[in-house]
């Protein structure tokens, strides 16, 4: 009931996740990243805490594969979980339990890993990694969205999706990009693309407001000179 792409930009060191699912508010549970550390997606019957644990392990110096192995070993209910991760070396890793729903598969490529469950086809993750790597010069957010859109074009889930999310970490402890469509009856991935297109021209201004408000433009609202 979920498909995602987790990736890294080798040029900038950014990490991120793009994801969509049939249930509400996927962005609150499934995509996770940490500046200078990596990115993780946790899905199927989701335990969001697992992502933080994997990121903690990677921050402690373990590779993505080592981190996932350490977190999944002998963990209760782990057979209901699906995890993906990418680390600072661009190494990717994944875990898929034995109780994952429907058609499920994973595909790893350069600096990215895509995974899904309850898919319309086992070919969806491979299409997503191809979409991600189609333009390596693009902003990571664009590349992640391209991967997600390629997954939709390849058939996506077996049923309709209703929420989607996009996160990107750069150098700050907060997300550079954190966009969500919590519920949409028709096409949350298309709405997510529209949100990114609206946000991208303002992204640096919002970052400047956090780093140095004197360098940021006014908000352009009443009472703000």
* pLDDT tens string 61-83: 999 999 999 999 999 999 999 99
Task: Give the C-alpha separation, 14 to 31, whole Å.
Answer: 14
**CA–CA–CA angle 172, 208, 32 (5° rounding):** 30
Span 198-210, pLDDT tens digits: 999 999 999 999 9
Q: Is residue 224 part of a domain?
A: no
221 in a domain, yes or no?
Answer: no
Structure-token pair, residue 138: 């693009």
Residue 78 belongs to a domain: yes
158: left (phi over 0), alpha (psi -120 to 50) or beta: alpha
- Give domain status of residue 165, yes or no: yes
- 30, β-bridge pairs: none
Q: What is the pLDDT of residue 1?
A: 77
Please give the residue range of the domain that contains residue 108: 2-215
Is 220 part of a structural domain of the chain? Answer: no
* CATH number of domain containing 116: 3.60.20.10
Instruction: Look at residue 33 and tell me if it is in a domain.
Output: yes
Total structural domains in the chain? 1
* pTM, entire model: 0.97
């Amino acid at each position: 009931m979920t498909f995602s792409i987790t990736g890294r930009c080798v040029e900038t060191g950014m990490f991120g996740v793009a994801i969509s699912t049939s249930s509400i508010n996927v962005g609150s549970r499934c995509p996770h990243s940490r500046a200078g550390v990596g990115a993780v997606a946790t899905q199927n019957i989701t335990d969001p805490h697992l992502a933080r644990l994997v990121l903690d392990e990677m921050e402690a110096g373990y590779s993505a594969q080592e981190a996932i192995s350490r977190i999944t070993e002998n963990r209760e209910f782990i057979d209901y979980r699906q995890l993906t991760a990418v680390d600072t070396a661009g190494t990717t890793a994944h875990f898929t339990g034995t109780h994952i729903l429907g058609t499920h598969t994973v595909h790893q490529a350069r600096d990215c890993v895509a995974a899904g469950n309850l898919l319309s086809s086992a070919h969806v993750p491979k299409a997503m990694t191809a979409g991600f790597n189609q333009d390596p010069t693009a902003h990571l957010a664009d590349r992640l969205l391209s991967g997600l859109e390629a997954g939709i074009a390849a058939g996506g889930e077996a049923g309709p999706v209703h929420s989607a999310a996009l996160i990107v970490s750069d150098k700050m402890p907060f997300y550079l990009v954190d966009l969500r469509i919590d519920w949409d009856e028709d096409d949350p991935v298309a709405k997510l693309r529209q949100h990114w297109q609206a946000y991208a021209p303002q992204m640096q201004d919002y970052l400047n407001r956090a780093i140095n408000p004197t360098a940021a433009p006014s908000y352009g609202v009443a009472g703000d000179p």
